[in-house]
Structure 1
Amino acid sequence: MSQTPPFGKDRIDAFIHAFIARFSDIEIAPAATYRAQFNHRFRFSDAAQIIPYLNDLGITHLYASPYLQARPKSLHGYDICNHNALNPEIGSEADHAGMVDALRRHDLGHILDIVPNHMGVTENQWWLDVLENGRNSPFAHYFDIDWHPIKKELSGKVLLPVLGDQYGKVLENQELKLVFFEGAFWVTYYENRFPISPRTYPRLLRHRLEALEKEMGDDPESLQEYHGITLALLHLPAEIQSDPQRVAEERRQIDWIKRRLAKLYQAEGKIRQFIDANVALFNGRKGDPRSFDLLDQLLNDQSYRLSYWRVASDEINYRRFFDVNELASIAMERKEVFEETHRLIFQFIQEGKLDGLRVDHPDGLYDPVDYFRRLQKRCFVLRGMRQIPEEMPEEERKRVEERLAEAADRFLASRTRPGVRLPYYVIVEKILSKGERLPERWPVHGTVGYEYLNAVNALFVDSRHAKRFDEIYADFNGRKGRFFDIVYERKKFIMNTTMASEINVLSHQLNRLSEKDRLSRDFTLYSLRDAIREVIACFPIYRTYITRLERLEEHDRKFIEMAVTKAKQRSPATDISIFDYLKRILLMQHPEYFTEEDRMEQLAFVQKFQQCTGPIMAKGLEDTTFYVYNRLVSLNEVGGDPQTFGISISDFHAQNAERLERWPYSMLATSTHDTKRSEDVRARINVLSEMPDAWQAAATRWADLNRAKKSELEGDPAPDANEEYLLYQTLLGAWPFGEPSSGEYQEFVKRIQAYMMKASKEAKVNTSWISPNEAYDQALSAFIEAILDPGRSGPFLADFRTLQRKVAHFGIFNSLSQLLLKIASPGVPDLYQGCELFDLSLVDPDNRRPIDYPSRMRRLEGLKKEVMSDLPSPSLIQRLLREKEEGTIKLFVTWRAMNFRRAHRRLFLNGAYLPHEVIGPGKEHLIAFSRKLNQERVVVAAPRFLSVWMDGRLDDPIGAVWEGVDLLLEGEEPGAAYLNVLTGERIEAEEKNGKTVLPFHSIFKTFPLGLLSKQPEA
């Protein structure tokens, strides 16, 4: 057998050069992805079953929600508790391998959603270790914990706001229970469990020790073992260990002590009875407050403090994911945390089981650009190592790996364009505010597509009626409110309630900095706190990305200055010099006499400030304002700006062209697991923008018809007018197609009640999750039940269905146009699970209901049988339109367009984007563009604003209705032939007034969409 020649320096360099030369974005970028939500109801084995279907649909990559081990029964997977194990509820390693094998057999790739910012604390062994051992835990620095918080009583402790009432009441009500299990002591609180530190075991084991010694007089050997265990516990070092070897040795000793104690407990009945009796004593007696002193003192000696959940907003001392106490942020900037949390992910990449990553919530990271560089560098090395011979000696492998790491640094530093020439496909869940761009320094391929979602959605909102909708909304509500003012007020509300602790910490940090500067030391703590609140409330984006002393990006400077300017305008009675001081701090300006330590302290404040602005924006905007400002709720979407009432066709083209230039492999989404309402619900509600008069008349009429069904609470009607306005839009958007059965209708009513309950609590106006108003909640639910009950609704339902049918009819064509535009636009189209049929889901958990895949598979098989020689029959096209409410028409467009895209993936990923001019009276009702690469060309055409164009008639927008409207084909000759991929119809370019055109009555002859592939000349 021939031996592999040694890898000397020259050969290594040649290998790396050839490896880099083979990098191809077109090979690693998906043509189309399908997002699947994995949980105990949809497992690896279930995914394996649908892979042939996804392949037939034209998908190239399965895009999975997080499926590493999460909290039991998690429906989303973002509460990961173990980064290095698969979620057993989703399947075993063999199940996972089976799914990957099925993907490979069908030549499909795999993208995984990963969560680097935070972990769920339930059943999290790292977190439990921190609770048990405090700062002695080797995982103490894995989490972003302030061990020296402002409240001195919490020094060295983690505040756990998990109790449903005040601590003393919970304790004396015996809801906290001490238990002994397998050699360890725990305190339980319902389903929660908290470890007792081994350093405090002697308090339990030596309590009433003389009684045990008397009882065990005839068994000195077991008693001696018991004393030996307690003595070993007493000799555990009290100081914090810094040497990893000493920490590991101490952990082994503790495990050994626990095993000895468990063995003795099982073997010796008298010792077992003694420990059980002590546990019972510590648990106290209900009605005897002093009997709880023992457990109270034991809990006071732990490295955590159990508290009422309401104190979290003021005193919590670990960084959370937003305001969710059960999700603790981790210090991903630490090398060991990065390595340990990515160990299994990198193993999957090395084994070829993953082809891309979606990174959740990068704004929570200390330094996103550094994180992405480390991620891409490791992927570069892993890809390179996969190509070296398996028989290479270990020493040579290490040398190659080192050189690959060096080459990765050079390669990543040499990139001159964003979004291209990267080792691995990585997209990020970055929410871009109006006027904000994805930082070009991030070595990623783009975002998950919220900016596209909002652009294509706004394309179907008639901007000519923005002012009328302002008036309609104000008239219905009886009050006016500017969107920006609501955002400002809601962000301040969040800072004063659920995230007050974060503001408190920032204020004290800034106060310490101000004391170091003679020009700012007179600013009081309270004035600094107010300034911080005002600037954050006025912050126009989620966060800035200042991570170094010497570098400040211009866009970061712009947004900081913008926020400070607005804060000054809103605080005319405040000494504006305090805002100027805060601006200098945020812009990393400092006095000449600041030491290096002072400058680092300033940078630490700026970075903590940045990690706060994102969650506050998300909670104040997405999770509050979007449920308060209800002018047209289809615009209230993640990453959206509800002030922007529609965009022009030219703006849409410009955004597409810019994406192709800057982020050509960014995702294109229209529904996700986080959207407030599905793409098809939004498509329906958008129709209202075309008919302001009809909408105002209907909403006013419905309010009159339903007024008597409201309750009165403290003199005010419930629900209020704003939530009633939201309800009517929601009903129009989510109303089922056809005539649902009694059971289906009742399920729909429950879904609407659940949605409105969530919307009302998120709005935090009449009720909330923190302070629920049960009377209002009941009144809202009762109102929905009354107006939707056919026996009690009176004339409302019949009146409602008249407008609903019209909205649903035109909403279908909006959905189909939106779908085709997404598939053909620059970027990577993503299909959210189930949305290949019409999906009328609302916000989670409604959009995470199980998907009926067998039905979808049967429908697709039926379509395939009806398409002969890749040409749909006219009868099929007619039937799809006639039965469009059944949804197969959307599946048909998805199937035909996705497969065409996959067959021409280079054209759609890299081809030029060429907007087309529309000639004739319907130019504002049509969107058209070409994708062109070399000799390949495809023309895309889709209609909008059809209720206006069709003058309200519920007919299909095909054929003669488009007479006199043409698509201009510049650079083409008359007679050029095109094939409509969707229908199989051949269309020839014509000459009109000296111009080459494609008539829309021919493009839309039998079907209201055009995907026109240029045919070779005969």
Structure 2
Amino acid sequence: MSEARQATASRRLVGEGLPVPVSTYRLQLGPELTLDDAAERVPYLAMLGVTHLYLSPVLRSAPGSTHGYDVVDHDEISPLIGGLPALRRLADTSHAAGLGLVLDIVPNHMAVPTPVWHNRALWSVLADGPDSPFAAWFDVDWSAGDGAVLMPVLADRIGAVLAGGELTLDEIVVPGAGEAPRTVLRYADHVFPVRPGTEHLPLAELLERQHYRLAYWRVADEELNYRRFFDVGTLVAIRVEDPVVFDATHALVLGLVADGTLDGLRIDHPDGLTDPAGYLTRLRERTGGAWVVVEKILEGDEELPTDWETAGTTGYEALWRVQQTFVDPGGAAVLGAVMHRLTGDTSDALPAIISSAKREMVDGALYAEVHRLTALAAGICHDDLRLRDHTWRSVHDCLVELLVAFDRYRAYVVPGDPLPTVSVEVVESAARIAADRLPPERAATMSVLVDLLLGREAGSAGRTRSPVRDELVVRFQQTCGAVMAKGVEDTAFYRWTHLVGLCEVGGEPARFALTPTELSFWAARQQQQAPLGMTTLSTHDTKRSEDTRTRLGVLSEAAVEWSTLVDRLRATSAPYRSALLDGRTENLLWQTLAGTWTPDGPLSDDRLTGYLTKAIREAKSRTTWTEPDATYEAAVLATARHVLGDDRAVELFAAWELRTRTAVRAATLGTKLVQLTLPGVADVYQGTEVPSVALVDPDNRRAVDVAPLAARLARLDEGAGPRDLADEKLLVTSRALRTRRDLSEAFVGPGAGFRPLAHSSGHALSYARTVAGEAAVVVIATRLAIALDRLGGWADHTVALPEGAWHDVLTNRVVVGGVQEIAPLLDRLPVALLVRATD
């Protein structure tokens, strides 16, 4: 192994003697699940077989927060979930049961809460401006906005708000700011500090003299002068690249790692940081090399930057690959025809839909960020005689097209550092695509812009570095991530309806399906490059739970039958299906119902309509969050409700669910077992140890009652056979987790390996997990069960098992190694999990 590869490999491991999770179980903490509630679940989770509890953010967050990613105080564990004492109690209870804790942290941003004083650091900046001791915390452009931080909170333009008397002065004791009353400015529920010495000025003049500018909320997208999380103005970015800010915002968490309360960290949105690699290096130094994974979306075959000090990602690249290995490529054409029939979209239209959506974001919600980039680049050109003829408009046109053409979240160019070859290739490739969309006279400007964005010499000789040039390099990359997230995942993926389950966070819907060989190749590579990264099938951010996506995947296996079903559903719904219902939303509706229809029937009315409301607003085609079209939305939801009450539609979906039940069973158990046994640290999202049909948040963050799950597991452990799919998935999950725990060397040990096993059928997926080259665990899964059934089942197909005696922990029977027929191995369950038999 070369020195470079050895260095990269060492960055993916933990410090000597530090714990490595073997598996994690994600818990969504909040008022409905406090830290003490979590402690009560420890016995069940230990029995399930996980080794670590994976906690959502626990620091004090904005009032009313339901997720914890809007931190207001880095020095305090949220009292709503029990505070630091409750976290200590959870740690003690977990450690006593042999479990550890992993914590999700948010280094990129803090909340702009209502009232602002909940965030004491931000309150100080609004009160004292650049003189605040916290001024360096926030990424504010003090040169813009007349040196005032834009606060776009008004429901109308400032003139109208003033005229309406909606702004008033008050005297209050501000929590956390001493005991003396101070003058504040009130607007509805908002409270802002008043700069000392301006209290007695006329209100209009008082507003002009503050270190902030109150503005109409629509102004944010055009004139916001602080970096935010994507397009969310209520999440202000912080500058953790500053060592002082890093220390202040990480002191509590680092202390919890140092004293053994926490074994590892999950880092939220590192692509938003000024220097992700530098941040991760500092974090590794300060934790001594603790297990750290990053919420990083890798597009296509993109790989983690080699200089990142992290075990790996949170597993989105595993999620889509596992899922699409259980999708039938033969269904692509038929499902494409259904989409075209309903929507007019052709099967090759996704790239154009993505480009259009990204352009809308660049021209709309993210205009302020693009304007700032243009100002920086145009300013550089203006200040250099040799570049002066590259106009503001020319620079802007090139930047827009470059952002639209960019195919990933970031190029990882660090000012002053050597340019990685892949970074150059990524930027130059996007530039070629962008140039083709521009008039020829823009080519010279594009060339200059590429040099500037790569930190190369541009203009007068020797000019490569300056504060402005460095800022342009960094801000461009931060903006690329926002354009990708908002344009692709939060817009285009709600418009593309070929097979909606493929439109997932970090997903690759253009790939449609993978072969077992492709998955095995990726897994073997992952074992070498990031053996301790995370794998997952569901997260708090996924647009659909794993079980919803599994049911949707089965559409590809019975695509012709699905096409017929859609025609019948359209016929029965014709009398009440509104003319306002567009084809994309209609296709989304039918697939959503198929993905969520279980033997118990459909989702409840409120869950379905809540999801549809979010989906059509995210699509931004006919209605949006900021400008909802009430008539259109009412038509969509009325149609959905009519379908739920239509006996014929209910009958059709019930028949479909029955027809696909066997295939759903095979895919449900197969995807779960594969995800839990691939290279990496396996994560189970709360409640998904049994079938959990859910849609995008907040639907997927609903509370989980574990008492029935614990009772199910106890019954299975007592020797009872599984009664239904819930029992079967719980059996597969618990046995896989326990196998991981008991044979951890085969999964996260230094000698762990992955080896595909030969089989004679494309409907089988089989591999071994090895220790020092010797097979220790064998996995066999069924894929595409409907097509398998059409072929007459397994017949005489075989799989080549490693020699020796094996024990199937799912069916509790002994299996002999060597070439064996598949049918007897999978006669009870569509999956098998074999471990070496002991005497």
Aligned to 1:966: 798
Amino acid at match of 1:184: R
The share of aligned pairs that are identical, in percent, is 35
Question: What is the deviation of 1:513?
Answer: 1.4
* Aligned-residue offset at 1:860: 1.7
Is 1:776 the counterpart of 2:642? The answer is no
2:412 matched to 1:545?
Answer: yes
Confirm or deny that 1:1006 pairs with 2:817: no
Query: How far 1:574 sits from its partner (Å)?
Result: 5.0
Tell me the CA shift for residue 468 of structure 1: 3.0
Contact 2:489/2:505 (8 A) holds in 1: yes
In the other structure, the counterpart of 1:235 is: none
1:477–1:126 CA distance, 2 compared to 1 (3 A) = same
Q: Secondary structure at the match of 1:93?
A: helix
* 1:760 has 2:616 as partner: yes
Q: Is the 8 A contact 2:581 2:632 kept in 1?
A: yes
Q: State the match for 1:297 in structure 2.
A: 205
Superposition map of 1:389-408 within 5 A: none
* 1:818-967 map, 5 Å: 818-864=671-717, 866-867=718-719, 876-877=720-721, 880=722, 883-885=723-725, 887-910=726-749, 911-919=752-760, 923-934=761-772, 937-951=776-790, 961-967=793-799
Aligned residues between the structures: 813
Aligned ranges 1:585-984 → 2 under 5 Å: 585-591=452-458, 593-594=460-461, 599-711=466-578, 717-738=579-600, 748-789=604-645, 793-864=646-717, 866-867=718-719, 876-877=720-721, 880=722, 883-885=723-725, 887-910=726-749, 911-919=752-760, 923-934=761-772, 937-951=776-790, 961-969=793-801, 972=803, 976-984=804-812
- Note the C-alpha offset of 1:147: 0.6
The match for 1:230 is: none
Query: For the residues of structure 2 that align with 1:528 and 1:1010, how far apart are their CA atoms?
Result: 59
Q: Tell me by how many angstroms 1:518 deviates.
A: 4.3
Secondary structure of the residue aligned to 2:747 is helix
Q: How far is the alpha carbon of 1:637 from its aligned partner? A: 0.7
In structure 2, C-alpha distance between the alignment counterparts of 1:574 and 1:537, rounded to whole Å:
19
The whole-number CA distance in structure 1 between the counterparts of 2:284 and 2:220 is 37
In the alignment, structure 1 residue 144 sits paired with structure 2 residue 139: yes
Q: 1:538 to 1:26 in 2, by over 3 A?
A: farther
Q: Take 2:795 and 2:354, find their aligned partners in 1: how far apart are those partners?
A: 46
Give the Å deviation of 1:525: 0.8
Q: Distance in 1 between matches of 2:35 and 2:440?
A: 60
Per the alignment, in what secondary structure is the counterpart of residue 836 of structure 1? coil
Partner Cα separation in structure 2 for residue 893 and residue 55 of structure 1:
16
Correspondence for 1:985:
813
Please name the residue that 2:837 is paired with.
Answer: 1015
The 3 A distance-change label for structure 1 pair 660 and 725 is same
Work out whether 1:181 is the aligned partner of 2:172: yes
Distance 1:985 1:537 in 2: 56
Q: What code does the residue aligned with 1:721 have? A: G
Q: 1:303 deviation in Å?
A: 0.9
Q: Cα offset for 1:174? A: 3.3
Q: Deviations over 1:458-513 (max 9, x none)?
A: 10111233233322211221343611111111111001111101111111111111
Distance 2:335 2:387 in 1: 48
Structure 1 residue 31: Cα displacement: 0.8
CA distance in 1, matches of 2:109, 2:205: 32
Q: Secondary structure at the match of 1:941?
A: strand
Q: Are the aligned partners of 1:927 and 1:941 in contact in 2 as well (CA < 8 Å)?
A: yes
Q: Which amino acid aligns with 1:66?
A: P
* Aligned residue in 1 for 2:123: 128
Counterpart in the other structure of 2:197: 199
Give the aligned residue type for 1:834: G
State the match for 2:341 in structure 1.
475
- 1:348, 1:929 → 2: CA distance? 39
Note if 1:564 corresponds to 2:431.
Answer: yes
Q: Within 2, Cα distance between the matches of 1:319 and 1:558?
A: 27
Q: How many Å separate the matches in 1 of 2:75 and 2:149? A: 25
Check conservation: 2:534, 2:682, Cα contact below 8 A: yes
**Equivalent residues of 1:987, 1:1002 under 8 A apart:** no
Whether the aligned pair in 2 keeps the contact of 1:70 and 1:120 (CA below 8 Å) is: yes
**Match in the other structure for 1:360:** 268
Q: 2-side partners of 1:594 and 1:62: how far apart? A: 56
Structure 2 counterpart of 1:787, one-letter code:
V
Q: What's the CA shift for 1:24?
A: 6.0
Q: 2:456–2:464: 8 Å Cα contact kept in structure 1?
A: no
Residue 434 of structure 1 corresponds to 300
Q: Which amino acid aligns with 1:913?
A: F
**Residue ranges of structure 2 left out of the alignment (5+ in a row):** 1-10, 174-180
- The corresponding residue for 1:448 is 314
Distance 1:928 1:810 in 2: 18
Write the distance in 2 (CA, Å) between the matches of 1:978 and 1:516. Answer: 73
* Closer, same or farther: CA 852–550 of 1 in aligned 2, 3 Å: closer
Displacement after TM superposition at 1:815 (Å): 1.2
Q: Distance in 2 between matches of 1:343 and 1:608?
A: 27
* Contact 2:458-2:464 within 8 A present in 1 as well: no
Q: Deviations over 1:117-146 (max 9, x none)?
A: 000021211111111111121111110000
> Residue type of the partner of 1:501?
A
Shift of 1:759: 0.5
The alpha-carbon deviation at position 599 of structure 1 amounts to 4.0
- Letter in structure 1 aligned against 2:597: W
Distance 2:703 2:55 in 1: 15
Give 1:545's aligned amino acid. Y
Post-superposition Cα deviations, 1:135-177, rounded to whole Å, max 9, x if no partner, equal 121111110000111xxxx222011111112222223333333
- For the pair 1:555 / 2:417, whether they are aligned, the reply is no
Whole-angstrom distance in 1 between the partners of 2:660 and 2:71? 41
Determine the structure 1 residue equivalent to 2:5. Answer: none
TM-score by length of 1: 0.78
1:348 alignment partner in structure 2 = 256
The 1:335–1:594 alpha-carbon spacing in structure 2 relative to 1, beyond 3 Å, is farther
CA distance in 2, matches of 1:23, 1:306: 47
- Secondary structure of 1:624 counterpart: helix
Whether the 8 Å contact between 2:14 and 2:291 is mirrored in structure 1 is no
Aligned to 2:79: 88
Alignment-derived partner of residue 7 in structure 2: none
The alignment partner of 1:443 has SS state of: coil
Larger Rg: 1
Structure 1 CA distance, aligned partners of 2:222 and 2:600? 51
SS in 2 for 1:962: coil
Unaligned runs of 5+ residues in structure 1 are: 1-19, 205-293, 381-422, 712-716, 740-744, 868-875, 953-959, 990-995
User: How high is the TM-score relative to the length of structure 2?
Assistant: 0.94
CA separation in 1, counterparts of 2:110 and 2:830? 47
Q: Does residue 1:460 correspond to 2:326, yes or no?
A: yes
Query: Is this contact kept in 1: 2:662–2:785, CA < 8 A?
Result: no
Aligned to 1:504: 371
Residue pair 1:684, 1:812 contacting (<8 A) in 2 also: no
Q: How does 1:64-463 map to 2 (within 5 A)?
A: 64-122=55-113, 123-149=118-144, 154-182=145-173, 183-201=181-199, 203=200, 294-380=202-288, 423-463=289-329
